[in-house]
Amino acid sequence: MSEHLMNTYARQPVAFVRGEGAYLWDETGRRYLDAVAGVAVNALGHAHPKLVKAIADQAAAVIHTSNLYRVPRQEELADRLCALSGMDRVFFCNSGCEANEAAIKLARLYGHNKGIEVPTIIVMEKAFHGRTLATLTATGSRKIQAGFEPLLSGFARVPFNDLEAIRHVAEHNKSVVAVLIEVVQGEGGINILPPAYLAELRKLCDAHGWLLMLDEVQTGIGRTGTWFGFQHAGVVPDVMALAKGLGAGVPIGACLARGAAAEVFTPGTHGSTFGGNPLACAAALATLEAIESENLLENAKLRGEAIRAGLREALAGVHGVVDIRGVGMMIGVELDRPCGELVGVARDAGVLINVTSDRVIRLVPPLIYGAAEVETLVATVSDIVRNYLRQAA
Ligand SMILES: *Cc1c(COP(=O)(O)O)cnc(C)c1O
């Protein structure tokens, strides 16, 4: 391992040199089934022909021009995203934290425009919104914040899935301008927001003139079996952050807004050099096209259900399995003890998985899984979980 990389990651001792579909190959030629998808990024799996072609064609035409000029691909992508989501306008950036950073800036400006001098954004316990200073402040994890103080002011934290706590903040803090929340907490351990909560939160935001801002960086672009997680609840947010699956591996983020929120930014208030460049937008357009033409929303829904059903059956009655939950291709298997070492055990068995929140196995496979991949994943994960719980008990 090079001494010249900053020491920010505890990397696994493996490097992948090739991918195809739901599989990756390492330097020795060994094949692995991918249930991580580059952390919920590679929605189309690896080397998807349409994505590869779109990137190659765009690279040969023009890669980057900057936002000093019109970018036709960016306009096309904005139109497409708004048609799919019901939002009105899009700001493009390059990552999830930047999409949330844009949302936070938008909310603050929205507040200032209303005469609120110290705008407050309500955020959740166990939330994950990124690693920039504003987004790590919004993140509900001391581990991620520690050492980076002073954090930003202007955030109020409440427990996830607790409307009373939000009502309580509303009574005592008249400077609230927005609520920022994940529809399913990813890093926080696959914690699912009931659709009824989101509907009530929508009403609460309307009653107070707050922006409902959804961080759909992980849940968006088909991950939960619908284009966006909020579509399970039948509400529409005022602001939505996207990234991960949007470019299916090419870095791109987006902050979408609707109604009054869509009119907050004006020339000079926000920007990004790379944001929405032709290459990234071509990749995102190809991703959306492939999800649609290959019926991947339905596939994500059905394969996700099959994975959960398979795991529930295989792990029924196994002591130490606390919960098996998820929506679409966003699946958590919660154990009663820390299980980080299972990542290596699964890799040795030829399957790539992830563990988050210490004791939750997170499965976020590419949306293209077939029946064979579901079967291998269920068999391998249930095997290693059973063996692990037997040994550790
Ligand atoms: C991954 C993630 C982010 C951060 O995205 P980056 O591209 O790493 O900045 C933000 N919010 C959620 C919900 C995420 O899953």
Fold assignment, 50-293: Aspartate Aminotransferase; domain 2 (3.40.640)
Architecture of domain 16-34+295-392: Alpha-Beta Complex (3.90)
pLDDT average, residue stretch 345-361: 98
pLDDT tens-digit map of 60-112 = 999 999 999 999 999 999 999 999 999 999 999 999 999 999 999 999 999 99
Residue from 244, 246, 255, 330 to probe ligand 1 pocket by mutation (most atoms less than 8 Å from CB) = 244
| Average per-residue pLDDT for the chain | 97
CATH 3.40.640.10 domain residues, the chain: 50-293
Using CA positions, which residue lies closest to atom 15 of ligand 1? 218
Is pLDDT of 393 > 60?
Answer: no
Percentage of residues in the chain having pLDDT higher than 70: 99
- Ligand 1: residues with CB < 6 A are 95-97, 100, 128-130, 182, 186-187, 215, 217-218, 243-244
CATH 3.90.1150.10 domain residues, the chain: 16-34+295-392
314 alpha carbon – ligand 1 mean position (Å): 32
Atom of ligand 1 nearest to the CA of 182: 13
Atom of ligand 1 nearest to the CA of 95: 7
- Contact 276/92 with Cβ under 8 angstroms? yes
Maximum pairwise Cα distance, the chain: 62
Given pLDDT bands bounded at 50, 70 and 90, which one contains residue 164? very high
Given pLDDT bands bounded at 50, 70 and 90, which one contains residue 231? very high
pLDDT tens-digit map of 239-253 = 999 999 999 999 999
Is pLDDT of 255 > 90?
Answer: yes
The predicted pLDDT at position 33 comes to 98
291 alpha carbon – ligand 1 mean position (Å): 21
Given pLDDT bands bounded at 50, 70 and 90, which one contains residue 335? very high
392 alpha carbon – ligand 1 mean position (Å): 32
Strand ranges, E, within the chain: 16-20, 23-26, 31-34, 89-93, 120-124, 155-158, 176-181, 184-185, 191-192, 211-215, 239-242, 253-257, 321-327, 330-335, 351-352, 354-356, 360-363
97 alpha carbon – ligand 1 mean position (Å): 6
Atom of ligand 1 nearest to the CA of 98: 9
The predicted pLDDT at position 391 comes to 85
In angstroms, the CA 306 to CA 378 distance is 9
The predicted pLDDT at position 1 comes to 84
390 alpha carbon – ligand 1 mean position (Å): 34
Given pLDDT bands bounded at 50, 70 and 90, which one contains residue 392? low
